[in-house]
Amino acid sequence: MENNIKMHTRDLDFFYGKFQAIDHISLDFLEKRVTALIGPSGCGKSTYLRCLNRMNDLISGTRVKGNALLDDMDIYDPAIDVVNLRRRVGMVFQKPNPFPKSIFENIAYGLKVNGVRDKAKITQVVEKSLKQAAIWDEVKDRLNESALGLSGGQQQRLCIARALAVDPEVLLMDEPASALDPIATQKIEALITELSSKLTIIIVTHNMQQAARVSDRTAFFYMGKLIEVNDTDTLFTKPELKQTEDYITGRFG
Amino acid sequence: MRKRLFLQKLWFTLIKMAAWINSGALAVMVYFIVSRGWRAISWEFISQAPRESMTQGGILPCIVGTISLCLITILVALPIGVASAIYLNEYATQGKMVRLIRLGINNLAGVPSIVFGLFGLAFFCIVLNMGVSVAAGGLTLGIMTLPVIIGASEEALKTVPNTYREASLAMGATRWQTIRRIVLPMAFPGIITGSILGISRAAGETAPIMYTGAVFFTPDLPGSILDEVMALPYHIYVLATAGTNIEATRPLQYGTALVLILLILSMNLAAIIIRSKMRKKLRI
């Protein structure tokens, strides 16, 4: 079955001042699939990811050219509602960053800022989100305790639950397991696979085994350019370009 | 080898002495004032107005006056200062405009307090027709305290890691919701501590209020913000230089100084307690 294209960019350029960090990237993201972005440090993969929910808007002196679309909405159209875009395109960050609030309040936050007042509804979504993020059993008896008392791996799953609470269609993950130990990493990876049946996931990772394990498609970035993109199995077993092969076999990067 | 260790020891000793000079200066000053002032302190002293050309009686009008001035200062400087800091740190596009505003704030911080006093006299008392009053004095102190509060608030806002702002925005929160619900609560302990320290500094100022809010003598407590008041620092100045019988008022002068110092120390103590309580609550 061929999936719809959920997001795509066409000739996307991104500049920090005069420095061009992203160079003409055209890439499609299939609905309910996991796409991994790999490449050496500084290749622009995180910057590209942050273009997809306009998180780079916060950095002054930056500029975007080209197109990025969610379904058929141009996300850089000045007329669109950025706040709503970010609700539809959620994000999980490299370091777990739960708010210094209770576990419950961390999840409820996204609902409250989006205008949900109904307490029963909030309680229900909090439980559902924590279950989806496979952390419910570990925290259900301590929902009113500070989220900062959780372990790093639990915090990151809490952050995933927090992102899921506002029902995003796309989830951007910026090296979500790089600050975690192997067991916590395994749990996050299992969760990504689980979640991909419900939403579109785009994950930046430094870890090639991780990309191979969790993703359906993989895109290799180098120096701000997209070098090669293919089904993950194909890219890792029969890369078309020598440069890709050198990177995935560990000859550089 | 010997020499290196000796040099290390020498420098550490010097550095340590420099640090101890701070506490030493405070201790000597407090001892000086307490030893001369404590005999003046009595219930009468803090509950009655001065009598007999200020050689008898208490300083209640001064205590009430200084507290009233501080309240106006807080009302003026806290909202404007915190709002300015939010604008500069969270909202404004960093550019010429912001640099200009910052230049203004830094220069405001450098203006001598007597100049604030003259400005307050000319602007609040005369142009705005407030006369010598709590309102005019509080506003003058407020403007003087603004740069301190803006500075403290900006520092506090800067300590909130960006990743919290991003996480909030990534869930579809607006920038204002992010500031209001995530950034401000986390910055609040720092803002409050810095602000109280700034206001406690203002509480001890004499020059800005001597033309604008404080008077030589009034036995009445202020009934409105347009009334003139006595104030602790100005009263000390008056007792020390302008009394009719300076020798007779000397114990009262040190007693007044002691009350002022206690007032300021208790404000600073409150700042420390609030900060540690909130930090515990936020677990940061």
Tokens of A64: 């975007």
pLDDT (0 to 100) of residue A58: 86
Categorise residue A39: left if φ over 0, alpha if ψ from -120 to 50, beta otherwise: left
What is the interface pTM, i.e. ipTM, of the complex?
Answer: 0.91
pLDDT (0 to 100) of residue A32: 94
Instruction: Tell if the CB–CB gap between B283 and A146 is shorter than 8 Å.
Output: yes
pLDDT (0 to 100) of residue A10: 95
Domain range enclosing B244: 64-282
On chain A, the residues whose CB falls within 8 A of the CB of B282 are: 100
A134 within domain boundaries: no
A144 within domain boundaries: no
Query: What number of residues does chain A have?
Result: 253
A166 within domain boundaries: no
A12 beta partners: A25
- Site from B169, B174, B278, B279 to mutate, A interface, most A CB atoms within 10 angstroms: B169
B83 within domain boundaries: yes
In chain A, the residue whose alpha carbon lies closest to the alpha carbon of B187 is: A100
Q: Which of B165, B171, B282 comes nearest A110 by C-beta?
A: B171
**Distance, in angstroms, between B181 CA and closest chain A CA?**
9
pLDDT (0 to 100) of residue B76: 92
Categorise residue B161: left if φ over 0, alpha if ψ from -120 to 50, beta otherwise: beta
On chain B, the residues whose CB falls within 8 A of the CB of A62 are: none
Who has greater pLDDT, A252 or B203? B203
Q: How far apart are CA A180 and CA A96, in angstroms?
A: 9
Q: Which of A86, A95, A99 comes nearest B170 by C-beta?
A: A86
pLDDT (0 to 100) of residue A2: 62
**Confidence band of A42 (pLDDT split at 50, 70, 90):** confident
| pLDDT tens digit sequence for A191-232 | 999 999 999 999 999 889 999 999 999 999 999 999 999 999
pLDDT (0 to 100) of residue A170: 96
Helix (H), strand (E) at residue B273: helix B246-282
Instruction: Tell if the CB–CB gap between A109 and B173 is shorter than 8 Å.
Output: yes
User: What is the count of structural domains for chain A?
Assistant: 1
B73 within domain boundaries: yes
For A179-191, b/e burial (b = at least 16 CB within 10 A) is: bbeeebbebbbeb
Q: Walk along chain B (284 residues) in steps of 10 and give the mean pLDDT of each run.
A: 89 94 92 88 81 75 90 94 94 86 90 92 90 90 93 94 94 94 92 90 89 81 82 87 74 89 90 84 63
Reported as half-sphere exposure (CB side, CA atoms, 13 A), residue A128 has a value of 13
B1 within domain boundaries: no
Q: Say whether residue B96 is in contact with chain A using an 8 A CB cutoff.
A: no
pTM for the whole thing? 0.85
B224 within domain boundaries: yes
Between helix B184-203 and helix B246-282 the angle, nearest 10°, is 180
B228 within domain boundaries: yes
B positions 169-188 inside 8 Å of A (CB): 169-174, 177, 181-182, 186
**Confidence band of A65 (pLDDT split at 50, 70, 90):** very high
Query: What number of residues does chain B have?
Result: 284
A114 within domain boundaries: no
List the Cα angle A57/A60/A62 in 5-degree steps.
70
**Confidence band of A253 (pLDDT split at 50, 70, 90):** low
Q: Which of B168, B182, B283 comes nearest A148 by C-beta?
A: B283
| pLDDT tens digit sequence for A144-166 | 999 999 999 999 999 999 999 99
Instruction: Tell if the CB–CB gap between A97 and B181 is shorter than 8 Å.
Output: no
Domain range enclosing A73: 5-100+172-248
Q: How far apart are CA B140 and CA B118, in angstroms?
A: 9
User: What is the count of structural domains for chain B?
Assistant: 1
Instruction: Tell if the CB–CB gap between A114 and B170 is shorter than 8 Å.
Output: no
On chain B, the residues whose CB falls within 8 A of the CB of A166 are: 171-172
**Confidence band of A73 (pLDDT split at 50, 70, 90):** very high
- Site from B90, B96, B169, B171 to mutate, A interface, most A CB atoms within 10 angstroms: B171
A80 within domain boundaries: yes
pLDDT (0 to 100) of residue B176: 95
A108 within domain boundaries: no
B168 within domain boundaries: yes
Closest by CA to B203, choosing from B87, B67, B107, is B67
Who has greater pLDDT, A252 or B256? B256
Instruction: Tell if the CB–CB gap between A113 and B167 is shorter than 8 Å.
Output: no
pLDDT (0 to 100) of residue A223: 92
CATH number at residue B197: 1.10.3720.10
| pLDDT tens digit sequence for B29-87 | 999 999 988 888 888 888 777 777 676 777 888 888 899 999 999 999 999 999 999 99
| pLDDT tens digit sequence for A99-154 | 999 999 999 999 999 999 999 999 999 999 999 998 999 999 999 999 999 999 99
Q: How far apart are CA B255 and CA B277, in angstroms?
A: 33
Whether residue A1 has pLDDT greater than 60 = no
CATH number at residue A47: 3.40.50.300
| pLDDT tens digit sequence for A6-15 | 999 999 999 9
Between helix A152-164 and helix A119-132 the angle, nearest 10°, is 130
pLDDT (0 to 100) of residue B153: 94
